[in-house]
Amino acid sequence: MRLSDLPKGASAVVERVEDTQANDPIAQRLRDLGFVAGERVRLVAHGPVGADPVLVQIGYTRFALRRAEAARVTVQEVA
């Protein structure tokens, strides 16, 4: 599933980050920030309008991602 579809409070493991275009700078930045295979993430909060952006905990850090950004990350939900 996509990180953007993860319910609030749920945890998951990153599988990969997909480029939506050649040399996608947003995808590259996500990888630099630690969105790499095997990393655990948790969806902490949703923005007030349209549940956008989403707040994602990865490692010890929280990142606000717009839904389109989070949709680049494919994850496997864990219980």
Partner 1 sequence: MSAGTLRIALVGNPNCGKTALFNQLTGGRQKVANYAGVTVERKEGRFTAPSGRVLQILDLPGTYSFDTTSPDEQITRDVLEGNYPGEAAPDLIVCVADATNLRLHLRFVLEVKRLGRPVVLALNMMDTARRRGIEIDVAELQRRLGLPVVETVAVKRGGARALIESVDGEVPSAAPAMPDDASSRAGLHAQVRELLDATVNMPRATAALDDALDRWALHPVFGLMILAVVMFLVFQAVYSIGKPMSDEIGVGFDWIGAHLAIWLPAGPLQGLLKDGICTGLGTVLGFLPEILVLFFFILTLEESGYLPRAAFLLDRMMLSVGLTGRSFIPLLSSFACAIPGIMGTRSIQDPRDRLTTILVAPLMTCSARLPVYALLIGAFIPMHRVMGIFNLQGLVLFALYVAGILGAMLVGWIIKHMRKDRSEHALLMELPSYRMPQPRDVAIGLWERGMIFLKRLTGVILALTVIMWFISTFPSPPAGAVGPAIDYSIAGYLGRGLQYIFAPLGFNWQISLSLIPAFAARETAVAALATVYAVGGDAEAGGLAHALTANFSLATALSLLVWFAFAPQCMSTLAVIRRETNSWRNVVISFSYMFGVAYAASLITYQVARLFL
**Interface with partner 1 in residues 43-62 (CB under 8 A):** 44-50, 52-53, 55, 57, 59-62
When asked if residue 11 is in the footprint of partner 1 (CB under 8 A), the reply is: no
What's the maximum distance between 2 C-alpha atoms anywhere in the chain?
34
Determine the Cα–Cα distance for residues 13 and 25; give it in Å rounded to an integer.
Answer: 22
**b/e string for 18-28 if b means 16 or more Cβ within 10 A?**
eeeeeeeeebe
Please report how close the Cβ of residue 33 comes to partner 1 at its closest, in angstroms. 6
Q: How many other CB atoms sit within 10 Å of the CB of residue 35?
A: 24
For partner 1, the binding residue among 7, 25, 76, 79 (CB under 8 A) is 25
Residue numbers at the binding site for partner 1 (CB under 8 A): 20, 25-26, 28-34, 36, 39, 44-50, 52-53, 55, 57, 59-66, 68-69
